[in-house]
Amino acid sequence: MSAYLSLLMFPLLILLIFSGFQIAFAMILVAAVFGLMLFGDITAYQLLTKIEETASNYILAAVPLFIFMGSLLEKAGIAEKLFRAIHMWTARTPGGLGVGAILLGTIFAASCGIVGATEAVIGMLAIPVMLKHMYDKRLLSGVICASGSLGTAIPPSITVVVLGPVAGVSVGSLFSGLLLPGLLMAALFILYVIAVAYLRPELAPRIRHESEQFSLGQKLWFTATALLPAAALIFVVLGTILMGLATPTEAAACGAMGAVLLSILYRTLNRKTLWDSVVSTVNISAMILLIVLSGHMFAGIFFATGGMDAVQSLLLGNGMEPWVIIGLILLIAFVAGFLLDMMSVVLIIIPVAMPVVRLLGFDEIWFCVAFLVVLQTSYLTPPLAPSIFYLRAITPPEITLKHMYQGVLPFIFIQLIVLAAVLLFPAVALWLPEVMGGPAW
């Protein structure tokens, strides 16, 4: 009976969230209430052990390090130099500003993996320039939202750092499994922008005169001083992880130090920049790690009450085909992505879903990659798209919600194409982990 009673934890959690509770405190409260009802005073010990487990998790130490790296890249003006360097080469391409924004999103995502920060940086750099050159507001909105969402699809992603330990899957293998789908998504975004600008040039006017004022030598020099250091930083972070030379936490530490060295190299590191980066890191890290802790508490009580057995009997005992069950889990994740932030969706659904995935015989890395693509798609999908709320905060009033909703639709379709590729052709997600040998961490 207690097993089926534990299923009420989910509707109560949703009710508390809609009542205005912070997600982390809502999960802790639900876990405490159901724990006390079913286990009594021993619940306090159960919840306290989750604090120790979370605090001692070595992989999670990468979270504040990645956040610090991304924050410093933004506040030290390194991201702005990258955008200028990329724009030099893309200005004469159809939709050059849009292409440059997507490339910047790809590079920034491969540097720090923070979705909100990626979208905010790209938006603040690209929106004024795109408006100045009369870009269509729908296309502009879609490009910025899609570029920012690459922080989930291209490693190193903070979401993956949290998902790996929760799912019991190697973070390194998840990074390598996510890389090809993420790059495929970015490439399709770029092809779409080029096609739209070529077929309807009035939506994305070309900017010839700005690119022609730079000689080839100037372009090469600016590229060497802006892009090559960033490429070196990406190699230090992502390359060492994929080659098995460093754990995600070690790579994140090297990346944070690399961001400091780049700031010194560009002479943009000062007391205010460093302080602002540290404060931003503390705020974001505290929020993420509190959500992680509350998710562990929620999942611990749910498992202890036999909730997992109840879920398995409901999913497996009604004769549904394995593919239907996987589709149902991904659909639930998609809907949950409307209501909750990505970390909360991971911490609520993954502990319940992974035992079912293993029982059905599906590959764990393949499922996690598909799950992340679904999360990224829900991140873009109206009416409750988090990416649109991020964009709303940094855009001028002339860009309306209608522009944003219409602008993201083609990019959602592209993400669904990538999701279909992952589901129908598992090698898209599994080939690189097999080639890289599957890091053990």
pLDDT of residue 116: 64
CA angle 361, 177, 300 (to 5 degrees): 60
Is 50 inside any structural domain?
no
Spatial neighbors of 10 by CB under 8 A, at least 6 apart, are 348
pLDDT of residue 425: 94
pLDDT, tens digit, 9 for 90 and up, residues 152-193: 788 877 788 888 888 888 888 898 899 999 999 999 999 999
> Distance (Å, rounded) from C-alpha 91 to C-alpha 12?
52
Domain count, the chain: 1
pLDDT of residue 115: 65
Is 15 inside any structural domain?
no
Is 65 inside any structural domain?
yes
pLDDT of residue 122: 77
pLDDT of residue 129: 80
**Count of C-beta atoms within a 10 Å radius of residue 246:** 21
Distance between terminal CA atoms of the chain?
Answer: 38
Coil, strand or helix at 191: helix
Is 306 inside any structural domain?
yes
- As averages over each run of 10 residues, the pLDDT of the chain (441 residues) reads 68 81 84 86 83 79 82 78 77 83 83 67 78 86 86 80 86 89 93 92 72 65 78 81 80 87 86 88 82 83 76 72 89 79 80 88 93 88 72 78 87 94 93 72 53
Determine the structural domain holding residue 368 and report its residue range: 59-436
Q: Would you report the helix, strand and coil content of the chain in percent, each value rounded to 5? A: 80, 0, 20
Considering only CA atoms, give the Rg of the chain: 22
Is 25 inside any structural domain?
no
Residues 362 and 321: beta-carbon distance below 8 Å: no
Residues 46 and 52: beta-carbon distance below 8 Å: no
Is 40 inside any structural domain?
no
pLDDT of residue 384: 63
Residues 66 and 161: beta-carbon distance below 8 Å: yes
Of all helices (H) and strands (E), which one includes residue 435? Answer: helix 427-436
User: Which pTM was predicted?
Assistant: 0.81
> Distance (Å, rounded) from C-alpha 234 to C-alpha 378?
27
232-236 long-range contacts (CB < 8 A, ≥24 apart) are 232/258, 233/111, 233/258, 233/259, 233/262, 234/107, 234/110, 234/111
